[in-house]
Each structure stands twice: as C-alpha cells, then as structure tokens.
Structure 1
Amino acid sequence: MEDNVSLKFRQQLLLIDENLVAEDVAALKFLCTDLLPFKKLENVKSAVDIFQLLMAEEYLNEEDTFILAELLYKIKCHSLLKKLGYTKEKVQECLHEKGRVSLYRQMLYELSENITNEMLKDIIFLLQYCLPKRRIPLSALELLILLEKQGLVTENNVQMLEEVCMKVSPDLLERVNCYKRAKDNKAASLTQGFSEMNLELPAEFSNAENESKKMTSYKMDGPHRGFCLVINNVNFDRCLQERKGSCKDAGELERVFTWLGLDVRTYTDLTSLEIKDLMRTWQQLQDHKDRDCFICCILSHGESGAIYGKDEELVSIRMIMSHFTAKQCPQLADKPKLFFIQACQGKEIQCPVYVEGDARIPDLTSMQQSISPSESIPEEADFLLGMATIDGYVSFRHIEQGAWYIQALCSKLQLLVPRGEDILSILTEVNEDVGRRVDRLGTKKQMPQPAYTLRRKFIFPIPRDPPPSQKH
C-alpha cells in the first residue's frame, strides 16, 4: 500500500514537472536558494531535480506537500495546485504558519517579476561599474543573483536596491520598502518575546536589553542539566583538508560543558547520513523530559547554511535543528536548545599554514548565495544558533591552538557564568573577543553571529567547582 502511495506521489510530481517551463524552473531554483545546498542547486536542470533535493532535505514527502504548493503559488502556477490537493485560497491561509520562503527571497523574486525590459536596461546602465564586464545578465532574476553573489545585496542590506529603484521606478521602490517594514515589524515583535519569529543580529542586542530585563529565566535547576553533543569532523574522504586543531576544540567543549553540568557525548568523523541518523536518534530520546536543556556543537568544514559530513556531502543546519522542535521532539518543548557551529559559511580563501579556513579549499569557483543564520533557525521558540562567522565568510582555526570562535566561547563561558551572566551577554562578549583577533599577517578578521528565538533569559547555574582553566 505504501508503495502505491509513493508511486502516485511521484507521478504527481512528474505531471507538475511536465507543466513547468524553463523560466518556472529558474524561479523555483531561486526561491529554494535559502532552503537547499547551493552546490547541489547549481546542478539542477529540471523541476524534478528540485523535488528530489527537497525530499532529500526532508522538506517534501507524501504526507506534507505544502512547500511545493507554496513554491507553485509564488510563481503563479495556481492551476497546478489542485494536483497537490490545494487551492490558491488554501495556500494563502496556511502561508503565515507554514511558509518556508523568506521575506527577503520573496521580495527579490517579486522585484524580478516586475522589472520590465526597459527598466532592466536602465538598471544595468546604472550598475555597470560593479557588474563583471563579460557577464551582463540576460534577465532581472540573473541580475539579482549576480548582485547577491557579489555581496552587494543581502538580507540586511538592500540599500543598493533602494537607490536603483528610486531612480528607475517608484513602484519597485515601494516593494523594497514593504520588505523593510515587514522585517522591522518582525524584529519589533521579537523583542517583545513573540516566540514564532526570528530575532535579529547582535548589533540589535542592545535594543532588546530593556525588554530582556523584564523576562523570566528558563528553568535550569533540575537534577539533570541536559545532554551536549559534540560532532568533531577532522578527516574527510576526498578533497577537504584535515581540520588540524579541531580535537583541541572538541576537548575544550567537553571540559567546559561537563563543568556546566551537562552529559557530553563526542562523535568524530561522521558522514552526512550518520549525522542525520544521529539527530533522529537524539530526537527520539525519552530522557530529554527530565533535562533542563539540549546543546549541540558541530565542528566541520561548511558552506552557506550547511556543514559537511566526512563524505563531503552537505547537511543543512536548519534540517539538523528542525529535529528538536516542539512538534518533532515533545520532550524538549519549552526548553532551550542551543546549537554552536564552527564552520565556514562562505567564500573559500587560501590561508597561511598558521591559520586555516574551515571551508572547501580546492574549488574556488563555488560562490554560494547567502542564507542568513536567522533563516537557518527553525521558526519556533526556544532555539539559539551560534555561528562562528557571518554569512559569506570563512572562520579561522589555528592548527595547534584551535578555532578562534570555540576558544573564545569556552573562555567566556568560564569567565562569565560564575558572574551570573545570561547566554546572550556571553555571546556578545565572544563577538567582541573574536572581532579583536587577527591572523599572523594582520590581514584576516572574523565576526561571529548568533540568531535566536529564546523567549526567556538562559542562565547556567553557577557550578560549585572552579572552571577547568583554573585546574591546570
């Protein structure tokens, strides 16, 4: 019976594919940029390829086809919705609760749909100084992709779009302004503790400070603090370099989180499938119900919004975290879930031997499009995602002393937990610490970036024992 359901489902997908033209596939690919690994999206030739990727990342299956309904709705293929059992009105009703495409991605796609050929010519003329001479875009969508790849347009910086739209079309400008207002409203709701939204970045921590003072703290006084997973990928199967110094980071994390009362489990050199299986195993653990929190630290090579398994296949950070939502892991409902990622999130660069980048070194051509940490995090309460670096950039690791971010995190936890500081204050100090660091040649810098949907202050109880750094 299950085989029949699966066959019918795949037949539906084939029918949808047959009704989509090349422009539709390009639009789907663009709208999925923040959901799927860029490396794999690059090789997409058809809508079926996209459907396969969505299924592999567990966004799409027989029971839940909403992501595909949302995408078809966005590209205005409303007649195909009935093949999935949806109507245009039904999708509209569910978008607020179940929508996966970010406000930013929607805004860019709507812009591309409303830029006429004449407008496109004017925009290309205005931006000629920053466009590659040999790469003049053929369409508005290609132009926006190019601007993103060059870092000229990001989720948190649409100034260039505003300036261009102001000169070319007031209607286009209004679309950008609508996005900014929606984003600001989202941030404002969040500072009041609305759990279903994504909080903004560290620069805005101070704006939320007064609100956070009124907040209560998460319950952290149970007999068992919680589990801490440390996934330490050091050696890889093919092209990726050995991550020297990472074992020092894993050891330090184990010492510090054990000191903080957590039961630490360390896993070394896991493939992408092993990482997914491990998440499913821990998702189903009944012991979580007796614990105060859950922490997961991942040390690996990475790209935008994803980390590499030992087999050099990417695993989506959002997919990893989604195993622990209240729906997927009821034992952790209303409890804080912290994820710390030590991995590059952007351009690969060749570093001196003294300092290595946690990115794929050999292939310098894979310039990925951006996915911000606030989009990697599930749109559900009680999560914190601590990234070693802002999107689009490498993170650094000393081959003997360990990663800048992990070493700063462990150091600040040992210093500030005994003072009663909450986790966001500690991560702000980590930002300041890493931001001051520079490589041996004085040319490379790094800035970490948290995103969170915490509704209360997260404060570790002060351990009775002195910090590990004072025991040496």
Structure 2
Amino acid sequence: MCAGEWQMLYELSEDITSEDLKRAMFLLRDQLPKKLTNMSSLELLTCLEKQDHLAENNLEILEKICMDISPDLLKTVNKYKMERVSLAQQTASFSHHIPEGLFHSGGDVRLLTSLQETPIKSLGSSIYDSGSLREHAGSVHFIAARQDDKAVNVMQGISELSQEQPVRISNPGSKTEKLMTYKMDGPHRGYCLIINNCSFTGTLQKRRGSNKDAEMLAQVFTWLGLDVQTYIDKTSVEIKNLMQEWRSSKDHRDRDCFVCCILSHGELGLVYGTDEREVPIRTIMSYFTARQCPQLAEKPKLFFIQACQGKEIQQAVYIEADAQNPDLLPIQQLVSPSESIPEEADFLLGMATVGGYASFRHIEHGTWYIQALCNKLQLLVPRGEDILSILTEVNEDVSKRADNLGKKKQMPQPAYTLRKKLIFPVPRSPPPSQQQ
C-alpha cells in the first residue's frame, strides 16, 4: 500500500476501541490466522493488508467491518477515497500543463496528501534520580492537554525540479500551498549514531535511566529506516574521533540523511565526555558541513542533544485564563542558534532545554525530552508531519510536564538551517510502541 493508505490505517487504528477490536476479530475470524490473538487494532489492519484483503482499489471488507462495528469509522475511509479521487484529478490537470518532453528527461509527478490529528498522549511516573548538579531529576506528572483536530494537505511536485524551485498546486476550497521537501527515497535512509554516556570518571553522577533513552531512540530510528550505531561511555577524545570517522565515511553517498543523538551531562553549548572534559556542540556538528563532509552536502543532518545546558531550574508560572500576554516561561539565558549550529545549510539541532537551564531524567523511564521525541515521531510520522512540526509537538509535550510539586519545568529548543521540509516516509510496519 502507498503512504496514503497507510496513513488511513493508522487513523482508523487510533479510533478503534478495545470493544470494537474484539467485535472486528470475531467478524474476521475466517480471514485471520487461527493462532493470532491479543493483537492491536493496527496489527489487525496490517494483517488484512498482508493477506490481500485490503488494497488501494479493494476496500469492501474494510468498509463492511467499519459499518458493523462503528459506522463513524467510515468517515476516515470515505475521506481517503475522496482524497484519492481529488489527487487523480489534480495529477491529470497538472500533467496537462507539463512542457512537452519533460517526461522524456526522467521527470515524474508525485503528489502526497496527509491528514494530521495530534492528540497529546502522556503517562505519569514518580521515581527519579536527584543527585546530579548538571542533569537534574525529580518526580514528574503530566498535565492533560488536547489539541483540536486539523487537516493539512502536503504536496510534492516534480522530483527532478523540486531541488531548484517550488511547485504550486491549488486545491479547491483551500489556500495555494508552496512546498519543497528533501529527497527521502534513496536506496538507504541514512545512519543514526547514538552516543550514550552513563558512567563518568570524576564527580559527575551516573546517568541512570539513560539506557532507556538509547534503546527507544534505536528502536524508533530503525523503524524510520535508518541504520543505527550505538556507542557507550565515550571520552571527549573518543567523541571527536567518532565524528571524524563518520565524517570520512563514503557510505553517506547513497543515503538520504544523517542523525546523531548524544546523551550525556552538559553545560551551556557543550556536552561532557566520560572523562568530564568539554566537547562543544558546535564542534561536533562542524564535522558534517558541506565542506567537511561532501557526501552529505544538501542532505538534512539532524542532531539531538540530551544534556543540561546549565544549573538553573525553570519554575512553573501560573496564568489567568484571560491574560493578554502571559509570560509562560521566564527564560533569561537563551542560547542563540548562531552559537550552537553551523552556518552551513541543512542542519537541525534539537536541544533538550534552553541555555542556562537543567533537563530532567527519570531513573527508570528516561528523560522527558527523548521520551517525548520518540513518542511524537511514532505518532506523527505516519500522519505525514514534517520534523519541525513534530518538534513543536515535543515542545508542547515537555512543557506540560512537571515535578510532583508542579514547580520544576523544562522547555526544549530546536534550531535549524533547513532549507526544505523534512518528512520521513511512512514506515510499513507498526511503530515500536505497538509491537511490544
């Protein structure tokens, strides 16, 4: 199935209740393998697709099941069918205006439509490490939030021309979209490096719970199609040597992107090796500029840093409902993106916290930031969201978290020099959270 069908299945799976699922499995008992039990709604739909009971032009079984268990589910199926018809009409109209000979030069027309619904989902926890000065931990609970559903049409034009100019396509009844996206359909998605520093040789305390972050990152980025390499407890020199090694790799040529995640203690603009020596974040990223790493030129390079950027604790601020200009987060030491990210294009830096402040880590469940990042990638990549929209959702998620007294807060900060939208292709398998 194509991306549109997979997004439809993801949306359906989120709307199917446990009672709906039991009834659907009963109705489909003759179509399902006899040994399959206790599957999730997404696994059920995926199973039907693999057995050829679902296809782009064969939705009869799906429509019948939806009608039997909950007619409201048909809205999602009908919405997909209407979009497919609309896209076919747009393709026909658009191709009619393509200059003669364009297809002879290898061009192709690709249109992508995705629907976005972004409920905020979170779980509470209460056991925390409280010893570290540079990466704080405290018991946490989550403040429930909900965001109104919304729909976004994402369109991609002629792939051969998208590197040079945007393609404009008008949807009836909607604003004209102007969109360029990074190419993400190469032979290989890319590499993801994870440096997980847990134990330190001096006064810095062990980062208990960091292994949970590393495991979740590895699962999620493997699910997104990247080849993951994890490194444990690296000194400052070893971190720089790793960057030099991967900078020189020729394997980047056929890959779409590069991801690097560093989990450690830190201070403003830097992380610590296990020898407790400083490694500037800017230095780490500078190995992968277009000049230093030509194989990654014009390709997106994503860095996610889980480390404190100071010792200050962000305090909760309570506002009135009718406040005109609420000062939600009294941030006093913002780190400028120009101080953290190379001037070269195509970089994204995701920081767990703003400059001058601490980040928080649960000794069993991992850090607020990395867990939110992994959860939002699993939820929103199947909906066709771009990475900056996903990081905005991560900001919202982390901003809702607090310690058990509701006083300690955290605010992540992304900075970027991306020139286009970065949208990961929809994986064909269920996200890791639904595979367990």
Alignment of 1:363-378 (within 5 A): 371-378=335-342
In structure 2, the residue matched to 1:401 is 365
- The Cα shift of 1:215 comes to 2.9
1:441 paired with 2:424, answer no
What stretches of structure 1 of length at least 5 have no aligned partner? 1-192, 194-210, 352-367
* Whole-Å separation in 2 of the counterparts to 1:431 and 1:228: 22
Provide, for residues 130-170 of structure 1, a one-character-per-residue CA deviation record: whole Å limited to 9, x for no partner.
xxxxxxxxxxxxxxxxxxxxxxxxxxxxxxxxxxxxxxxxx
Provide, for residues 374-416 of structure 1, a one-character-per-residue CA deviation record: whole Å limited to 9, x for no partner.
4210001000000000111101011111000000000000000
In structure 1, the residue matched to 2:264 is 300
- The Cα shift of 1:428 comes to 0.3
TM-score (norm 1): 0.51
* Whole-Å separation in 2 of the counterparts to 1:284 and 1:241: 34
* Whole-Å separation in 2 of the counterparts to 1:282 and 1:308: 20
TM-score (norm 2): 0.55
* Whole-Å separation in 2 of the counterparts to 1:456 and 1:433: 25
Alignment of 1:42-441 (within 5 A): 214-347=178-311, 371-441=335-405
Is the deviation greater in 252-261 or in 439-448? 439-448
Q: In structure 2, the residue corresponding to 1:434 is in which secondary structure? A: helix
Distance of aligned partners of 1:348 and 1:244 in 2 relative to their CA distance in 1, 3 Å threshold: farther
Q: In structure 2, the residue corresponding to 1:298 is in which secondary structure? A: strand
* Whole-Å separation in 1 of the counterparts to 2:190 and 2:176: 24
* Whole-Å separation in 1 of the counterparts to 2:417 and 2:219: 27
* Whole-Å separation in 2 of the counterparts to 1:374 and 1:443: 31
Distance of aligned partners of 1:332 and 1:373 in 2 relative to their CA distance in 1, 3 Å threshold: same
* Whole-Å separation in 1 of the counterparts to 2:246 and 2:340: 20
Contact in 2 for aligned 1:374/1:452 (Cα 8 Å): no
- The Cα shift of 1:371 comes to 3.8
Contact in 1 for aligned 2:314/2:357 (Cα 8 Å): no
1:458 paired with 2:422, answer yes
Contact in 2 for aligned 1:230/1:265 (Cα 8 Å): yes
* Whole-Å separation in 1 of the counterparts to 2:383 and 2:435: 18
* Whole-Å separation in 2 of the counterparts to 1:457 and 1:277: 31
Q: Residue 412 of structure 1 aligns to which amino acid in structure 2?
A: K
Distance of aligned partners of 1:312 and 1:348 in 2 relative to their CA distance in 1, 3 Å threshold: farther
- The Cα shift of 1:214 comes to 1.8
Provide, for residues 273-292 of structure 1, a one-character-per-residue CA deviation record: whole Å limited to 9, x for no partner.
00000000000000101100
Higher helix proportion (structure 1 or 2): 1
* Whole-Å separation in 1 of the counterparts to 2:251 and 2:200: 32
- The Cα shift of 1:370 comes to 6.3
- The Cα shift of 1:440 comes to 1.8
Distance of aligned partners of 1:420 and 1:369 in 2 relative to their CA distance in 1, 3 Å threshold: closer
Q: In structure 2, the residue corresponding to 1:214 is in which secondary structure? A: strand
- The Cα shift of 1:441 comes to 2.3
* Whole-Å separation in 2 of the counterparts to 1:454 and 1:350: 29
CA RMSD of aligned residues (A): 2.4
Tell me the percent identity.
Answer: 74
* Whole-Å separation in 1 of the counterparts to 2:181 and 2:247: 24
- The Cα shift of 1:348 comes to 5.4
Distance of aligned partners of 1:272 and 1:344 in 2 relative to their CA distance in 1, 3 Å threshold: same
- The Cα shift of 1:443 comes to 1.4
* Whole-Å separation in 1 of the counterparts to 2:351 and 2:314: 21
Distance of aligned partners of 1:382 and 1:257 in 2 relative to their CA distance in 1, 3 Å threshold: same
Displacement over 4 Å in runs of 4+: 348-351
* Whole-Å separation in 1 of the counterparts to 2:176 and 2:237: 39
Contact in 2 for aligned 1:373/1:391 (Cα 8 Å): no
Provide, for residues 227-271 of structure 1, a one-character-per-residue CA deviation record: whole Å limited to 9, x for no partner.
000000000001000000000000000000000000000001000
Distance of aligned partners of 1:300 and 1:240 in 2 relative to their CA distance in 1, 3 Å threshold: same
Distance of aligned partners of 1:454 and 1:320 in 2 relative to their CA distance in 1, 3 Å threshold: same
Number of aligned residue pairs: give it. 249
Distance of aligned partners of 1:466 and 1:438 in 2 relative to their CA distance in 1, 3 Å threshold: same
Contact in 2 for aligned 1:389/1:448 (Cα 8 Å): yes
Which fold has the larger relative contact order, with Cα–Cα distance below 8 Å and residues 6 or more apart in sequence?
Answer: 2
Contact in 1 for aligned 2:210/2:366 (Cα 8 Å): yes
Q: Residue 236 of structure 1 aligns to which amino acid in structure 2?
A: F
